[in-house]
Structure 1
Amino acid sequence: MLASADRVREEQRLLWDEFSAGWKKWDPELLGWHAPFGDALLRELRLRPDSEVLDVAAGTGEPALNVAAQAPEGRVVLTDISAGMLRVAEEKAAARNLSNVDFEVCDAAALPFRDNTFDAVYCRFGLMFFPVMSAAMREMARTAKPGARVGAVVWGRAAQNPWASLILGTIAHHRELPIPPAGNPGLFRCAPTGFMTRMFKEAGLADVTEYQVNTDLVFESAESYWEFMTDIATTVAIGLAKADEASRTLIRSDVFALLGRYEHDGAIRLRSTATVVAGTKP
């Protein structure tokens, strides 16, 4: 298990470093799309102006930079396995003149912080990719102070997220991909109802709540959706890279045809559903 987990972490580090440019390119679109999920999470964290906060798998910086603005007398530490993603976050923090932020490249399953350090700890859209989620949850709980809030956001079921399942399903159809074993890192790994609540309770957290938040991913054209997904979605790019040119052409054609079902009022609107979960460290 250890060797396998280490291999997955290294693969993910390389992938996210490679895709950091795409996330920087599409930053305005990503900010608008993910805002409802981040806003719901921050409400659960019950931040104060002087809160010390840890963002695990912070990526390119949201909602951590928003947290830093809400806690001007506190401090926000952004961690990620990808130095490339954190460099984008650092650039954004500098552009916003945020001085109460720190950045740390590290593994979520081995956080380099003392016990009982933070007033709030959270992970938005990261847990489902960790090789050993239980280890990361234990670390998040360990570094939280007694009474601190710990939160996460994970994607819901594939059927609730056509923004991803439409293109991933089309790739799988054309390539006849095997179904990955249950528990493997992936977008919808944490989707079953109650899954996250059980994980939070097993990490020793109390007063756990879990609910869903919905929004739409909106694009003006099929072309812009295709460009967005191939720039930011590692699973999409990997699937397409393994297909030959003829298959890639067919996949693109089929995706464009399917997107027609989601056209409303002159735009493509794709449902996006995530689970927000939070608990308190006793």
Structure 2
Amino acid sequence: MGDAYSEVDDGGLRASLRGIWSSVAPAWGELAEQVDARGAELAEAMLDAGALVWGDHVLEIACGPGGLGIAAAGKVGPEGTVVLSDIAAEMTTIAVERAHRAGLTNITARQLDLERIDCPDSAFDKVLCRDGLMLVPDPAAGAREARRILRPGGRAVFAVWGPRDRNPWLGVLFDAVTAETGISVPPPGMPGPFSLEAPGALGAILAAAGFIGIDVCEISTPMTVESIADWWSVVPALAGPLARLLGSLPAELTRAIRARAVAAMADFATSDGYRLPGVSLMGVGCRPPR
């Protein structure tokens, strides 16, 4: 059985991650509307926490298909700007195409690594990062970079997934893969969606990066689907490294994983489908004024 994680080592981890997210970009593009709908409440909370105003210059890092940054563009108006960025150029292409289809002219796109942001100091009024900080090898470096590129008094808003046991919409798939294959998900050394789930972890990273006025809160992010087929068509396709792994497995093993996940989801069945709990952690911090 091939292991899609076998290419990952200390020297090539970032290159591997870039390749992984590039490979799933088409699925993110196809499912962008569902991603936006699922994340609408979190996006609104992040924009409110960011206190965006007319004329702000905003950077979204790890933008994926760009839904958050596209929403931000409406807040800052034509006098403001939004830069959509991601480590995978394929993602930024999708994001900016969506922005242009929406008629937005204050959006540009760049391929940027959030751990090494190729932008000058004090370049932005606000920084937004949804579901990205927990997926990099060094989230502390990412937080420091976000602080560096903010103007004095600027504000950054990060969202990461909360505890795995409170996010069964994804956790049941991880558990099923491990039970059927013996492969740890994520494997040792690979950053995963729950890498910042520990109480206080996100706040500690922001404090160590030099942010002040830090606030971390929970946002409910459940997933509602009409059927198992709907869930299976979305979650595995978007799951980055896991999507690549599933694509490498024999069909009978994939069927066994799906059956195990389905059994675990029985507790979340409703009269019209499934409601799977989810929780995100939203952290806000400001760069100190001069």
Q: Same fold (TM over 0.5)?
A: yes
Say whether the 8 Å CA contact 1:5–1:131 is kept in structure 2. no
* Uncovered stretches (5+) of structure 2, i.e. residues with no partner: 1-7
Number of corresponding residues: 280
**What CA distance in whole angstroms lies between the structure 2 residues aligned with 1:101 and 1:4?**
36
1:206 positional shift = 0.4
Q: Which residue matches 1:131?
A: 137
Alpha carbons of structure 1 residues 181 and 26: separation in structure 2 relative to 1, 3 Å: closer
The answer as to 2:183 corresponding to 1:168 is: no
1:116-265 equivalences in 2 (<5 Å): 116-178=122-184, 184-265=190-271
1:151 positional shift = 1.3
- One-letter amino acid of the counterpart of residue 37, structure 2: G
**What CA distance in whole angstroms lies between the structure 1 residues aligned with 2:242 and 2:23?**
14
Alpha carbons of structure 1 residues 221 and 181: separation in structure 2 relative to 1, 3 Å: closer
**What CA distance in whole angstroms lies between the structure 1 residues aligned with 2:59 and 2:100?**
19
Q: Which residue matches 2:112?
A: 106
| Runs of 4+, deviation exceeding 6 Å | none
Q: Which residue matches 1:36?
A: 41
Give SS of 2:122's match: coil
Q: Which residue matches 1:59?
A: 64
**What CA distance in whole angstroms lies between the structure 2 residues aligned with 1:191 and 1:162?**
14
Question: 1:163-215 CA deviation, whole Å, 9 max, x = no partner?
Answer: 10011111111111247677741010011111011100100000100010013
Say whether the 8 Å CA contact 2:177–2:185 is kept in structure 1. no
* Uncovered stretches (5+) of structure 1, i.e. residues with no partner: none
1:106 positional shift = 1.8
**What CA distance in whole angstroms lies between the structure 2 residues aligned with 1:5 and 1:269?**
38
**What CA distance in whole angstroms lies between the structure 2 residues aligned with 1:6 and 1:134?**
19
Q: Which residue matches 1:279?
A: 285
Structural RMSD (CA): 1.8
Q: Which residue matches 1:13?
A: 18
1:243 positional shift = 3.7
TM-score by length of 2: 0.91
Alpha carbons of structure 1 residues 6 and 252: separation in structure 2 relative to 1, 3 Å: same
**What CA distance in whole angstroms lies between the structure 1 residues aligned with 2:187 and 2:250?**
25
